Chains A and B, each alone.
Chain A
Amino acid sequence: DAGVIQSPRHEVTEMGQEVTLRCKPISGHDYLFWYRQTMMRGLELLIYFNNNVPIDDSGMPEDRFSAKMPNASFSTLKIQPSEPRDSAVYFCASSLGAHSPLHFGNGTRLTVT
């Protein structure tokens, strides 16, 4: 299995632009998570899905952030409009069942100037 696949690996954009991050979970995994990692705040859970349904989005910082999972093999995290404080590494992870190991993608390093 190729593991969790994220794209792009790096994204540099200007403040105010829309950013879309993409994730393909491991086939058969029914949980998908979006995490954000910064030096100041560590690894923060933004939102997670179970069987394509958003379960908990309490970590989404603002209405500028939205996430979708239209099918079992694809999810997006969108930031519109982006701001410099959104600069971080965004990880997608998937797992097979509850209380199972998380498998992380390689992350997307977002820089908003």
Chain B
Amino acid sequence: GENVEQHPSTLSVQEGDSAVIKCTYSDSASNYFPWYKQELGKRPQLIIDIRSNVGEKKDQRIAVTLNKTAKHFSLHITETQPEDSAVYFCAAPTGFQKLVFGTGTRLLVSP
């Protein structure tokens, strides 16, 4: 089955800096890679996803890059703001639709 590793587990940055979170996966057949943001006490919410037919996708201050050869994908947040503080999860599918989540990265953006 799929194994998803996520690093770092915690990340502290100053407002305005960039933040990068990396994930590796094991199932070479995986072709869909979403990222979820979970604020304290709230539900996980999708912020961006990428499919294996593209190498990069951008949406305003967030971007995701995918390297299928190396089996890793990364979330990039530029010009971080305090409201970006949350736990971020990557995920990758195993089998047809079973999403396996990474262990999460707690991002703290200090004003």
Contacts and interface: CB of A to CB of B under 8 A. Distances in A.
Contacts of A48: 97-98
Contacts of B46: 101-103
A44 B99 CA distance: 9
Interface residues of A, number: 20
In the complex, which range does the number of interface residues on chain B fall in?
Answer: 20 to 34
Chain A interface, >50% SS class: strand
A102 B96 contact: no
Interface in A83-99: 91, 95, 98-99
Nearest to B33: A99
Interface of B: 31-32, 34, 36, 42-46, 49, 51, 89, 93, 95-104
8 contacts: A42-B103, A56-B98, A95-B97, A99-B31, A99-B97, A102-B36, A102-B44, A104-B43
